[in-house]
Every structure is written in structure tokens, then in C-alpha cells.
């Protein structure tokens, strides 16, 4: 299988990095917009109640009875209070009356949409509409320890609700790219997007410039993620140099282009080590803010987790990058995990392109998990 570093020419230089970053983020926004459109047509969960709910929503939309969340939040509870002449507790009573067959978020109980926030109980009077926006539970849920990914057991999407769980596997995607160095200069190189069939078809129609990879198990788990391969070109160049230096003496050849004093601690490598954590931090900050502002839901938390998978990359092993990721996680209150590629389960490594044929030795990969939240109703632009 083709590695992210094999498909396109490198773009180098600080200015070029920033310019290419804009294109990279634009691609991410296009994917988000396609997910938003697809979410209006398909169900995020494969349970029968969710399928029925989405069918009823679609029927109301086609009949001209829009279900815009922004309008419902302000108008529906007030309308019900006036029409039924009820007190403030009326909406709570209606939640107890509903039988999960309603198509309106204001009278659908949170438990009926699979909400598994730790504070939810059988006695909680919370509608599915209450979960949208503000200080609702959907804003707080990703910070729960129970809802963290764990690569060591192959858990990518720890949610089971309709908004983030995506059990139907129709809305997930993985965007691949790589960061590499050439003569101490960092380059950002986009590659391809893996997605399930319905999303692939929409992306092909809406964004023909995006390179789409083949269907893959990675895209069926409902995870929304960007994978950034860290390519240590300096290490590869030095390995080739050692090989050449070993061949020349055996053939009684001398090359004036090879300096015997060259070693692994070259200034080029030091410059790369100094720049790299800064570049990664800039990239993560840009992805985080972009997904918060332009993700498929206005409730999006941006990045909710970062997994660093190392396959012998020295710039990861020296701790500088790990420190940067730790600081990023603390600042943004997100989960950060560090893994040795060789200690992960073989099936998981293959599905995540972590095998040696994809994540080659002396390389590493950042798997940046984006908030997969979508809206149950239609959010007006």
C-alpha cells in the first residue's frame, strides 16, 4: 500500500508550510461540510429507533416542516407552554409521556438517543434538545475519562450515543498527510482521505480535488480523524550514507563528497529537532480551532484526543515532541496517548496503516481524533 509520503511532491520552507497548511485546512472543511449534508440524509446509528427517527425527520423536511435546531430551542418550549397552558415543569412532564416514537427533539428523552453521560439517570428530566449547545452535556462529555480512546485495546470511538457513536459507520473518515524534513526544512504533504461509500460518493461530487483512497475498515468505525505521518528523512539519508561508506573501501574507491567526520549529530538534525515541535504545535492548534469553528456541529469540541505512535523515530524518542503534545493536551483539556507501534495488535496496526509497510522504521505517526459530534436536527447556516 502506498505511504502518505509516496504520492505527491514535497512543499518546503516556512512560507510554503503556512501556505500548504491553508490548503490542508480547506480540505478538512470540505470534508466537514459533506458530513453535515450527508447527516441530513442518513442515520448515524444503526439501531431501529434511530433509523425511524431519521426517516420521520426527512419526511418533515420534505413536506416543508423544517426541524431547525436553532429555532426549536427558542420557540418550541414556549409554544408548548402557551398552547397547553402549562407551568415551567410541562416540558419535563412531556418527556415522561413520550415513547421515543416522536420526531421532535424537544419531547425525546436523552436516554432515547443513547446518551451515556455519567450524570444521566432514570430520573433525569433531560430532552435530546437540551443536549445541543450551551453548557449542555454534549459539551462536557468528551472530557469524561470513560469516553477516552485507547489504541492499546483498539478503541477509537468510545461513544455510543447517536450524536458521536456513529454505529452505522456512514459518517467517519481519516485524512492522511505527512510531515518530513529535507535538509533540515519541514514540509507538510497532504495525501488522501479514506471514507465509507456514501461519504466517498458525496466527496467525489462536491470536492473532486480531494484524493480519495479505497474503502477501508478504518472508516467504518465512525471515527473522524487526521493521521499525520512523521517521516525522518535525515535518518534515511544517514543510513544510505553508512551503506555507501561501507561499499567504497571494499572497492578501493575514495569520494571527496563524503566527509568521514559526518555523524548522526549533524547541525541539520539539530535544526530539525528545534523546529519540529513548534511546527507540530502550530498544526494541531490550526486543526483544533478549524474543527471547533467549522466541524459538522456547532457543538464540536475540536480535537478530543491525540495518539502518538512511534516506530523508532529518534525525534519522538528524545522527548521533545512528547512534551509539546503533553502541553497541548493540558491546555485544551484533551486526551494524549503514547504508543510503541510494535506493541499494538496486528489487526489494529493493519487497519490503522501502522504496519512496517506503511509506517516505515525510523518514523512515527500522530493520530489526531476529531470530535465526531453531529446534530440530530438541522442546524441552519
pLDDT tens-digit profile of 247-305? 545 555 555 554 544 444 444 444 445 677 888 899 999 999 999 999 999 889 999 99
CA–CA dist 175, 224 (Å, integer) = 9
What per-residue confidence (pLDDT) applies to 316?
A: 76
The residue extents of the domains of the chain are: 4-38+148-370, 48-145
- The residues pairing with 79 across neighbouring beta strands, listed in sequence order, are none
Helix boundaries (H) for the chain: 14-39, 48-62, 69-84, 90-97, 137-140, 197-206, 233-250, 267-294, 314-317, 320-332, 346-351
Which pLDDT value is given to residue 263? 46
CA 266 from centroid of its chain's CA atoms = 35
What are the φ/ψ torsions at residue 173 (nearest 5 degrees)? Answer: -160, 160
- pLDDT of the residue at 296: 93
The predicted structure's pLDDT at residue 80: 41
Does the reported pTM lie above 0.75? yes
Contacts of 136 (CB under 8 A, 6+ apart): 130, 299
pLDDT digits (tens, 9 = 90+) for 157-207: 889 899 999 988 889 999 998 887 766 677 788 888 988 888 999 998 888
The predicted structure's pLDDT at residue 188:
84
Q: How confident is the model at residue 66 (pLDDT cuts 50, 70, 90)?
A: low
pLDDT in tens, 322-343: 888 999 999 999 999 999 988 8
Who contacts 250 (Cβ-Cβ below 8 Å, separation ≥6)?
none
Strand order in the sheet with 173-182: 185-194, 173-182, 224-231, 363-370, 303-311, 335-340
CA-based radius of gyration for the chain: 24
Q: Where are the alpha helices (DSSP H) in 101-225?
A: 137-140, 197-206
Pairing of strands 363-370, 303-311: antiparallel
Q: Where are the alpha helices (DSSP H) in 295-340?
A: 314-317, 320-332
Nearest C-alpha neighbor of 37 from the set 45, 26, 49, 29 = 29
Distance CA 147, CA 116 (A): 9
**Which pLDDT band, with edges at 50, 70 and 90, does 359 fall under?**
confident
CA-nearest of 353, 175, 215, 381 to 297 is: 381
- The reported pLDDT for the residue numbered 237 is 44
Distant-in-sequence, close-in-space partners of 312: CB < 8 Å, separation ≥ 6: 361, 362, 363
- What does the mean pLDDT of the chain come to? 75
List the beta strands (DSSP E) in the chain.
Answer: 173-182, 185-194, 224-231, 303-311, 335-340, 363-370
Q: How far is CA 70 from CA 107, 130, 295, 346, in A?
A: 16, 12, 17, 45
Amino acid at each position: 500500500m502506498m505511504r502518505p509520503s509516496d504520492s505527491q511532491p514535497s512543499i518546503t520552507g516556512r512560507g510554503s508550510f503556512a501556505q500548504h497548511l491553508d490548503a490542508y485546512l480547506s480540505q478538512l472543511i470540505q470534508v466537514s461540510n459533506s458530513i453535515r449534508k450527508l447527516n441530513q440524509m442518513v442515520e448515524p446509528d444503526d439501531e431501529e429507533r434511530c433509523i425511524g427517527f431519521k426517516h420521520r425527520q426527512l419526511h418533515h423536511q420534505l413536506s416543508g416542516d423544517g426541524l431547525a435546531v436553532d429555532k426549536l430551542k427558542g420557540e418550541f418550549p414556549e409554544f408548548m407552554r402557551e398552547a397547553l397552558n402549562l407551568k415551567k415543569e410541562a416540558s419535563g412532564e412531556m418527556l415522561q409521556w413520550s415513547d421515543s416514537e416522536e420526531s421532535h427533539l424537544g419531547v425525546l428523552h436523552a436516554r432515547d438517543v443513547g446518551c451515556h453521560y455519567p450524570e444521566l439517570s432514570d430520573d433525569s428530566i433531560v430532552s435530546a434538545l437540551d443536549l445541543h449547545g450551551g453548557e449542555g452535556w454534549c459539551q462536557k462529555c468528551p472530557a469524561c475519562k470513560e469516553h477516552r480512546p485507547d489504541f492499546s485495546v483498539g478503541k477509537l470511538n468510545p461513544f455510543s450515543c447517536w450524536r458521536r457513536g456513529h454505529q452505522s459507520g456512514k459518517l467517519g473518515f481519516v485524512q492522511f498527510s505527512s510531515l518530513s524534513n529535507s535538509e533540515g526544512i519541514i514540509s507538510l504533504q497532504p495525501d488522501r482521505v479514506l471514507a465509507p461509500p456514501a461519504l466517498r460518493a458525496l466527496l467525489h461530487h462536491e470536492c473532486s480535488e480531494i484524493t480519495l483512497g479505497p474503502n477501508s475498515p478504518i472508516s467504518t468505525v465512525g471515527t473522524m480523524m487526521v493521521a499525520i505521518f512523521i517521516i525522518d528523512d535525515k535518518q534515511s539519508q544517514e543510513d544510505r550514507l553508512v551503506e555507501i561508506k561501507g561499499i567504497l573501501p571494499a572497492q578501493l574507491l575514495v569520494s571527496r563528497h563524503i566527509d568521514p567526520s559526518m555523524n548522526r549529530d549533524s547541525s541539520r538534525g539539530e535544526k530539525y529537532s528545534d523546529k519540529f515541535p513548534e511546527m507540530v504545535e502550530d498544526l494541531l492548534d490550526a486543526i483544533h480551532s478549524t474543527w471547533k469553528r467549522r466541524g459538522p456541529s456547532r457543538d464540536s469540541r475540536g480535537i478530543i484526543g491525540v495518539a502518538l505512535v512511534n516506530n523508532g523515530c529518534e525525534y519522538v524518542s528524545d522527548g521533545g515532541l512528547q512534551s509539546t503534545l503533553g502541553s497541548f493536551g493540558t491546555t485544551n483539556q484533551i486526551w494524549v496517548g503514547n504508543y510503541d507501534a510494535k506493541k499494538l495488535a496486528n489487526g489494529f496496526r493493519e487497519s490503522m496503516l501502522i504496519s512496517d509497510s506503511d509506517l516505515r522504521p525510523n518514523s512515527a505517526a500522530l493520530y489526531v481524533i476529531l470530535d465526531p459530534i453531529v446534530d440530530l436536527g438541522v442546524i441552519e447556516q
